[in-house]
Amino acid sequence: MVDSAVLTALRAFSAERDWAQFHTPANLAKSISIEAAELLEHYQWSEDADLAEVRDELADVLTYCYQLAIRLELDPDQIVLDKLEKTRVKYPANSPTAVRGDSSRTRP
């Protein structure tokens, strides 16, 4: 899923600027939240948002997520797959309470 070139480019970008010193897990987690809020702001009053602006904010969120994974020495692909498996067990597709086709229903 994540191209290794992306992670390599992020490592290089950070190293060129000596930013690793600022990339503590806490700082990166805060930055993810801040950037996610900036992304959400584009949808604050409407479902229609400028795609170019959303794209930039989403890139910021992903960048900080990848930076946190790098810092914690986690493989982004593997942690997503691991969490997907946990969620698959928690919410089986064949469950009688599975939510399908009606967004007004809440999660089980």
Give the pLDDT of residue 105: 61
DSSP per position, 68-89: HHHHTT--HHHHHHHHHHHHHH
Q: Which residues of 16-54 are buried (b: 16+ CB within 10 A; e: fewer)?
A: eeeeeeebeeeebeebbeebbeebeebeeeeeebeeeee
Percent of the chain scoring above 70 in pLDDT: 94
Confidence of residue 100 (pLDDT cuts 50, 70, 90): confident
CA distance to 2, 3, 32, 100, per residue, from 62 (Å):
11, 13, 8, 28
> What is the rounded average pLDDT of the residues 53-72?
98
**Res 97: pLDDT:** 74
Taking only the tens place, the pLDDT of each residue in 8-26 is 999 999 999 999 999 999 9
| Per-residue pLDDT tens digits for 24-46 | 999 999 999 999 999 999 999 99
